[in-house]
Structure 1
Amino acid sequence: MPNPYEVAKRELARACEALGLDPAVYRILARPLRFVEVAIPVRMDDGRTEVFVGYRSQHNDALGPTKGGIRFHPQVTPDEVKALSMWMTLKCALLQVPFGGGKGGVVCDPKRMSARELEGLSRGYIQAMAQVMGEEKDIPAPDVYTTAQVMAWIADEFSQIRQQNAFAVVTGKPLVIGGSLGRREATARGAVTVVREAAAALGLDLRRATAAIQGYGNAGSVAHRLLHQLGVRVIAVSDSRGGILDERGLDPAAVAAHKETTGSVAGFPGARGIDNAELLTLPCDILLPAALENQITAANAHRIQARLVGEIANGPTTPDAHQTLVERGVVVLPDILTNAGGVTVSYFEWVQNQCHWTWSEEEVNRRLEERMVRAFRRVWEAAQRLRTRDLRLAAYTVAVARVTEAMQVRGWIHRTDSSFRS
């Protein structure tokens, strides 16, 4: 499968070329401003000391402090973390959120660790990274296999290091210590807002549309419910253990209850069992890959039947597959736009912490909707200017232009071309 860092750099190069930017822009943005690797010793339950490797990539802070999640996963790599931090820079720029991109990871298998061991790992991570983190430096958040509880441990450890409460150092926290209402649904809510706007632009009536969702974690399950509320008939969903298909439509509450009881959507009464590969190529109007990266590839892109693909997962479509989809007229809503609701509401949480104020869930959702709608329109308009159906290229140009403008006015580069605009 493609190296995510090489993929990110390739897309960045395309955007810089389309904008006619000084080559220095690419050279700055093609690598993180800072990359940190640390060793984290943790005393395990059996008495031995295990040493874990942790990473933090701070890609670019021209627009503000860096921001991005921490993932605990056995396959975390430096290139993955670097790529994700670059995508975070672009997401924040696209949504006009005053952050740069960051990302962190620890090579571990959290499924094999106790709560006490995970707490030790979480506290050890922030101890090792404390010098380069802070509410005006770099602000982590949950990611793969990290939770609100992990963020609470990190916030507490950082507060002890500071000798004062410093809850704004992380987002995605429990509500009782400054978490934001609306954060749990933010990624899915932002994605469905973008799908709704794209459908309107394409003349697709959502009340007559069908959808399939790969991945039924928090984002996928909430997206199912929100699409159902818009009148979309969700005919198929899947998780890591299998999928289900019912052409009549799947009720989100019933499917969620079944998964809560059994641990999977598989075996849902009245539905036919399918696998994840079959789900991707079903005849439907909207396909939402909300699971893992590299799911739509050169091997299956020509069989995708959806009219609209909304990338809720990071990097679910390989570059070759994306090109095939664009050539076939499939509208791909890129991940840096579609899944940006999470970082947007993380920004709202940070603002609330800084102001010592709490917004209602209605206000959070209203502000999120406004930003997602504006971002989609910027991307759509950029595509019209570029005369392209490639919304990924359009999104990258909008984001890169904004970061470039910030670097230029700060004196990092000299502006040699006036063609770009944010």
Structure 2
Amino acid sequence: MASAAIEITSQEDFLIHYNDFKARFARMQPEKEVIVRDPEMDVEGYVVIWNTGISKDGPLGRCGKGGTRITKDLSLEDVRRLSRAMAEKNAAAGLPLGGAKSGLKADPNAPDYEAKFKRFAELCRPLLHEHGGIFGGFGYDIGGKPPYNALWACEALGSTRSFTGKPVDMGGTDYDKEGIAGLGVAVAGKVMLTYHGVGVSAASFAVQGLGAMGAAVTRYFSEFGGNLKVLSDPKYKGAWRFHDTASPEMIAALTTQDFEAVNALLPKEATHLGEDCFEALYQDVDVVFPCAMEDAITAENAPKIQARFVCEGANNPTTEEAHEILFTRGIHAVPDIIANPGGIIAAFVELTSNVDNEENAKNRTKVEEAKRQTIEKVTASTTAFLDLVKQVAAPADKVGDFIAWRNILYGV
């Protein structure tokens, strides 16, 4: 049965299906869990893959995909949890792609990091999709150092097919540098405002966290016509509110993460609200983009939110209790599971594109295709999400999870 055949006719009907899907998803187990080791090199890594049935009729056949996390205290349980979340994110985006995550238990700053990462890639070779396995390959996550991990993995494997987020001249989309995940979040914010009759042009917005995600959201939402009014980040000494609108020079400096330029411009263009980065969440703006951390909006601070709209860029930045409070207060939200699939969409383009490396380097073909698909898919999924929220009158996180679980259980 296709997911479209699951018709919801009322809030009661939604809750019945929601609880059923939640219980069924909770009972699901990974399709494959592998620990790879090289004791002589002190290498230990993990690969966990979920629900490749969702992709069996797609262009890749059975395949799961997600990024590669590298931390010195990583565990199999961590990778299992992260891969499960990727199953939900990929499904919510409507991609015919199972969830996966790989991870290396290592210190990314250690002298032997390169050697360990290359050995980890070699040990995973039999699992890879290009060698007949169901693991779609590696990608950037915490602990990754673009572009080096891509270079190391491709060298170790003798192929560029099993690492996504590669530089453009290697056949990649360079999605971190291009800010494709942030593009998706900005699109979701634009769709949400438009859906509720608010013009994006000159809509005021605040961004908490100006790392790769927040910088890209700032870039693209400004290009859509938004007016950056508030930002916060520890590296910029907390929260700032612009006197009027951020200058083009400021937007450019934030986008490229030119810390020196940003810190020079801020005192000229903005008022310092203090060192508490959470202040950005509480300002009187049209839309807030939490792009910094998990559980940034909680039951304790959700009553302080003044914006009419919240669009999530970070992973799980709003707790379940906070979502309930926002919903009760009439604040519209798009959860990260709906707003933030741009990175995996770009990875899917890299895995499925037939464009050769030379053409890609010359014309940036995969980059433009990844952006096009991100805009198209996030627009469609956000609109469908907002339609369902309106129909069933339920908090954003519940509706987002419902869509993901429905697609996992019944197909995209």
Q: TM-score, normalised by structure 1?
A: 0.79
Q: Deviations over 1:226-271 (max 9, x none)?
A: 2222221111222343333214122364255375253975983322
Q: 2:204 touches 2:227 (CA, 8 Å); kept in 1?
A: yes
Match of 1:137 among 120, 128, 134: 134
Question: How many residues are matched?
Answer: 376
CA, structure 1 residues 363+56, in 2 after alignment: closer, same or farther (shift >3 Å)? Answer: closer
Q: CA deviation at 1:17?
A: 4.8
Q: CA deviation at 1:402?
A: 1.9
The whole-number CA distance in structure 1 between the counterparts of 2:169 and 2:220 is 26
Give the corresponding residue for 2:168: 175
Q: CA deviation at 1:287?
A: 1.0
Match of 2:382 among 365, 376, 387: 376
Partner SS state of residue 154, structure 2 = helix
The whole-number CA distance in structure 1 between the counterparts of 2:243 and 2:39 is 52
Q: 1:336 touches 1:395 (CA, 8 Å); kept in 2?
A: yes
Match of 1:399 among 392, 401, 404: 404
Q: Which moved more, 1:188-197 or 1:369-378?
A: 369-378
State the one-letter code of the partner of 1:61.
T
Give the number of the structure with larger relative contact order, counting CA–CA contacts within 8 Å between residues 6 or more apart. 2
Q: CA deviation at 1:154?
A: 1.3
The whole-number CA distance in structure 1 between the counterparts of 2:43 and 2:175 is 33
Give the corresponding residue for 2:370: 364
Q: Which moved more, 1:336-345 or 1:251-260?
A: 251-260
Q: Deviations over 1:76-122 (max 9, x none)?
A: 45444333212211222222222111112334442x334xx331122
Confirm or deny that 1:245 pairs with 2:241.
Answer: yes
Q: 1:66 touches 1:137 (CA, 8 Å); kept in 2?
A: yes
Q: CA deviation at 1:286?
A: 1.0
The whole-number CA distance in structure 2 between the counterparts of 1:80 and 1:132 is 19
CA, structure 1 residues 254+55, in 2 after alignment: closer, same or farther (shift >3 Å)? Answer: same
Give the corresponding residue for 1:87: 85
Q: Which moved more, 1:69-78 or 1:191-200?
A: 69-78
Q: CA deviation at 1:306?
A: 1.8
State the one-letter code of the partner of 1:398.
I
Confirm or deny that 1:211 pairs with 2:205.
Answer: yes
Match of 2:120 among 90, 102, 125: 125
Confirm or deny that 1:70 pairs with 2:65.
Answer: no
Confirm or deny that 1:106 pairs with 2:104.
Answer: yes
Q: Deviations over 1:359-389 (max 9, x none)?
A: 264443223211111111221233244x124
Match of 1:59 among 28, 38, 50: 50
The whole-number CA distance in structure 1 between the counterparts of 2:97 and 2:85 is 12
Partner SS state of residue 350, structure 1 = helix
Match of 2:194 among 191, 195, 200: 200
CA, structure 1 residues 27+290, in 2 after alignment: closer, same or farther (shift >3 Å)? Answer: closer
State the one-letter code of the partner of 1:393.
K
Q: Aligned ranges for residues 338-353 of structure 1 at < 5 Å?
A: 338-352=339-353
Q: CA deviation at 1:291?
A: 1.8
Q: CA deviation at 1:75?
A: 5.6
Counting aligned pairs with the same residue, the percent is: 25
Q: CA deviation at 1:74?
A: 4.5
Q: Aligned ranges for residues 263-342 of structure 1 at < 5 Å?
A: 268-270=266-268, 271-273=270-272, 274=274, 275-342=276-343
Q: CA deviation at 1:212?
A: 1.0
Partner SS state of residue 315, structure 2 = coil
Q: 1:378 touches 1:398 (CA, 8 Å); kept in 2?
A: no
Q: CA deviation at 1:151?
A: 2.0
Q: 2:323 touches 2:396 (CA, 8 Å); kept in 1?
A: no
Q: CA deviation at 1:355?
A: 7.4
State the one-letter code of the partner of 2:241.
L
Q: CA deviation at 1:340?
A: 0.5
The whole-number CA distance in structure 2 between the counterparts of 1:297 and 1:15 is 25
Gaps of 5+ in 1: 1-13, 43-48, 160-164, 407-421
Q: CA deviation at 1:345?
A: 1.2
Q: Deviations over 1:312-340 (max 9, x none)?
A: 11111122222222222222211111110
Give the corresponding residue for 1:262: 260
Partner SS state of residue 85, structure 1 = helix
State the one-letter code of the partner of 2:89.
K
Give the corresponding residue for 1:416: none
Confirm or deny that 1:188 pairs with 2:188.
Answer: no
Gaps of 5+ in 2: 1-12, 56-62
Q: Deviations over 1:5-50 (max 9, x none)?
A: xxxxxxxxx9895346478833543x423333344568xxxxxx6x
Q: Deviations over 1:143-195 (max 9, x none)?
A: 12312320221122123xxxxx3x22121112222112666221011111111
